[in-house]
Amino acid sequence: MERFKNILFDLGAVLIDIDFNKVARAFENLGIEKFEQQFSQLNASRLFENLEMGKISEPEFHKAIQQQTGKSLSATDINNAWNAILMDFRKESMSFLSSLKDKYALYLLSNTNAIHLMKVNEILEKQMGVQDLDIYFHKAYYSHKIGLRKPGKESFQFVLNDANIIAEETFFIDDTLPNILSAQELGFKTHHLLPGERVENIIK
């Protein structure tokens, strides 16, 4: 690993556990059938893509869900269902990040949205006593803030340009294969993190 100067991390299923089945059940309980056709690990409908790229506001997202269900759901009900995907941080992995910061420049690139990011930081503070995920990285890039989403190559290029780093000197870790393949085409060194694998066991 010494030949790499930078490490770029994904967030969900890499540093924090997520459960697509749980969020699907939560939305189906609100009245949305076959939710997995709208949002899954490999797929996002226009609504969820727009939310993750910051193209629609939180109230606009709520309104769209209300229209789909035909119910006057509260913002809290919708946010709770949406946040059901988020589980616990991998404490050992997060502690490991702190030990890496002196050796590598650490970055985060996550497909996420304002609702999830707020909840992520709540979970982080409860589990780790840390208020802001950004503390672990030289810089964190969130799709809803940069307006770009993986696996689009533009999202990776944005990170390279903004951080002034070189793809060939950067190790990228993600659990979603299309994201890995996109990064490889730009020259990143990569690791496709499989279920059961942990970052602290692949970075030496």
Among the four given CATH numbers 1.20.1260.10, 1.10.3720.10, 1.10.150.120, 1.10.150.240, the one describing domain 20-85: 1.10.150.240
Rounded Cα distance between 139 and 32, Å, is 36
Choose among 145, 115, 108, 110: nearest CA to 23. 115
Indicate where the chain has its CATH 1.10.150.240 domain(s): 20-85
* Superfamily of domain 6-17+89-202, CATH level 4: HAD superfamily/HAD-like (3.40.50.1000)
The H-assigned helical ranges of the chain are: 20-30, 46-52, 58-69, 75-82, 91-100, 114-128, 143-146, 153-163, 177-185, 199-202
pLDDT for 95 equals 96
pLDDT for 2 equals 53
**What are the average pLDDT values for consecutive 10-residue runs of the chain, which has 204 residues?**
86 98 95 90 93 97 94 96 98 96 96 98 97 97 98 98 98 98 98 97 89
- CB of 62 within 8 A of CB of 78? yes
- CB of 144 within 8 A of CB of 47? no
Residue with tokens 């941080």: 89
Indicate where the chain has its CATH 3.40.50.1000 domain(s): 6-17+89-202
pLDDT tens, position by position, 130-155: 999 999 999 999 999 999 999 999 99
